[in-house]
Amino acid sequence: MKNVIIKDGKIYSESFGKVDVFEIVDKIPTGFFVWNIGDNMGHDEYIPVCQDLRPGDKDSFEINARTLKAIKLSMEEVQLLRKAAGYGVNSKETAEKALRSKRKGRMSDIKRVHAEKTIDIFNRISK
């Protein structure tokens, strides 16, 4: 069960006895990316963003739970970003990389489609 409270510029999302605290911001800070947790944050008008706990370690998928952020967007934009993040298009940089890619194949094509749908959103909400 998910319990979500928005108070004092923060979102408190409680689930299974654990509380995640998201600071509400207007832009994705440098080094942050859309956190691919689907609707598990508990709110459809905010997209969660996070930063890697170990940025240099490609085998680590841990995030820094102390620096979570969220950006308020339309529900349609949140859905587009969630879907794109599921395919690895989770920041302005990854969207631009997908658009520049000359690779052929199903996954590359899917990433390009999601990048095309989200690049304007990323340009607007990225620093």
Alpha-carbon span 111 to 106, nearest angstrom: 9
Domain coordinates in residue numbering, the chain: 2-125
Residue 92: Cβ within 10 Å count: 20
Rounded to an integer, the average pLDDT of 94-112 is 97
Long-range pairs of 92-95 with CB within 8 A, sequence gap ≥ 24: 92/28, 92/119, 92/122, 92/123, 92/126, 94/33, 95/119, 95/122
Q: What is the pLDDT of residues 12-70, one digit of tens each?
A: 998 888 899 999 999 999 999 999 998 888 889 999 999 999 988 888 889 999 999 99
Rounded to an integer, the average pLDDT of 6-12 is 95
Q: Is the pLDDT of residue 1 over 70?
A: no
Weakest-pLDDT range from 41-45, 75-79, 102-106, 119-123: 41-45
Residue 88 confidence (pLDDT) = 96
Rounded to an integer, the average pLDDT of 76-101 is 97
Amino acid at 7: K
Q: Is the pLDDT of residue 100 over 80?
A: yes
